[in-house]
Amino acid sequence: MSDEQLRGAENPPIRRLAEWDVERLRELAGEQGTPLYVTDTDRVAENCARLRAAFPDADVKYAAKAHTGRAVLETVREAGLDAECASAGEVRRALDAGFPGARVDYTAVNPPARDLDSVVEWWDDHPDITVTVGARDTLDRLAERGYDGRVCVRVNPGVGAGHHEKVRTGAAPKFGVPYDRAAEVVADARDRFEVVGVHAHAGSGIHGEEDLAAHRDLVARMGELAREIGDDELEFVDVGGGFGVPYHEDDPALDLDSVADATREALGDLDATLAVEPGRYVVADAGVLLTRVNTVKPTAETTVAGVDAGMTDLLRPAMYDAYHAIRNLDAGDAGDARETGPVTVAGPICETGDTFCDGRELPLPDRGDLLAVGNAGAYGYEMASTYNSRPRLAEVSLAGDVLRERETLAGVTRLERGGADE
């Protein structure tokens, strides 16, 4: 086997749930309790390496909103990716994780005043930060704060794609200046700021021919716009990210090399550098959620497996009807082959939508079984909440290091104050 083939075997394009070390996951659940996120930072580094290999001449920026944990951000930085941040908080976390300002982009979407205030304050110490704006109004607000630094103009190309209508941004009026006004806005910005790029993003979870065709259309339109406004005066043309991963067990992995080739071809010849912003692709298959069965309830249609994780820990199934592979780590071993049947895995939240699957063919559960939920590294902990006054769960590395401590009820209520009479 050649070195290239060996590297490919060691760094496959997707890690399926079945490929995680069952005994190691059991050990971590025993040590830390459940629910629990397990994050493999080595896999994060591997995914970054694959992206850099597919886009060797591009600026690859990690969309930090997928997972902002310090260990993940540090791994991404060490792997050579920049940081694309959707809020001032994410900018702060990127800087704290060691990203220099030149490797941080702040994509301001209807930014609150306090976000702009903070980023402009940090700009004093990090003058190479880039602010991406999607409205002329945001340019005015930056100028009012004395900002005259690096700006990228976000464009709405009228082309959206993604796994769910709620994450298809490319045609939503919330995002970017209208395509037919983009040249005018760029000209205005050049009078007041250092315009370094233009930006667009089709959506999240792009996977499949229809989504990829929309992505290529977006890229082609951005190439045309860059040439119209003078690509020789731009540092980069950012065509977003959203590269998807296969959530179903039998879905094929994204052919990243083909996507990269098609992206370059659609963009066309430019003096500016291509930039991409993957998030989900970097971290999704680097994380699993572990949860334990506490209640087994047979019904006529399904067996309900009540577990200690819920939509407060992994929101995607409730919010997007998202599919996540589920594996019973205590079923299927030698001497414990289970009968299978329709199983509904349901959490403890007082909502009908608080389920991870409904009537899925799985080994029939026993109380105490440990379940693993796959591809939970992206938008898992990031979207966790304290709804129903449930403290947020812990996160550990595959090596066993505590990356985030389990929250306590005292932590949930620490900001509350009593009434005036108390």
**278 in a known ligand binding site:** yes
E strands, 59-100, in order = 59-63, 82-85
| Measured distance CA(74)–CA(97) in Å, rounded | 6
**277 in a known ligand binding site:** yes
Question: Helix, strand, or coil here: 237?
Answer: strand
**351 in a known ligand binding site:** yes
| Cβ neighbourhood burial of 293 (10 Å; 0-12, 13-18, 19+) | buried
**170 in a known ligand binding site:** no
Question: Helix, strand, or coil here: 85?
Answer: strand
Element (H, E) at 294: strand 287-298
Cβ neighbours of residue 42 under 8 Å, at least 6 residues apart? Answer: 398
Element (H, E) at 357: strand 355-363
The distance in angstroms from the start CA to the end CA of the chain is 74
**320 in a known ligand binding site:** yes
CA-based nearest residue to 254, from 380, 325, 163, 170: 163
State yes or no: is 350 an active-site residue: yes
> ∠ CA(19), CA(22), CA(28), 5° rounding?
125
DSSP β-ladder status, 326-328 and 370-373: antiparallel
**Residue in this structure with the two tokens 């930039």, named with its chain if needed:** 275
**387 in a known ligand binding site:** no
Write down how long the chain is.
422
| Cβ neighbourhood burial of 251 (10 Å; 0-12, 13-18, 19+) | middle
DSSP string for 117-186 = HHHHHHHTT-TT-EEEESSHHHHHHHHHTT--SEEEEEEE-S---SSSGGG--TT-TTSSEEGGGHHHHH
Beta-bridge mates of residue 397: 39
**62 in a known ligand binding site:** no
| Measured distance CA(3)–CA(121) in Å, rounded | 48
**316 in a known ligand binding site:** yes
Q: How far is CA 366 from CA 30, 304, 337, 348, 373, in A?
A: 17, 11, 12, 17, 17
| Measured distance CA(355)–CA(344) in Å, rounded | 7
From 48, 85, 152, 350, active-site residue: 350
Element (H, E) at 247: none
Tell me the binding residues: 242, 277-280, 316, 320, 351, 379
Active site residues: 350
Tell me the binding residues for substrate: 280, 316, 320, 351, 379
Tell me the binding residues for pyridoxal 5'-phosphate: 242, 277-280, 379
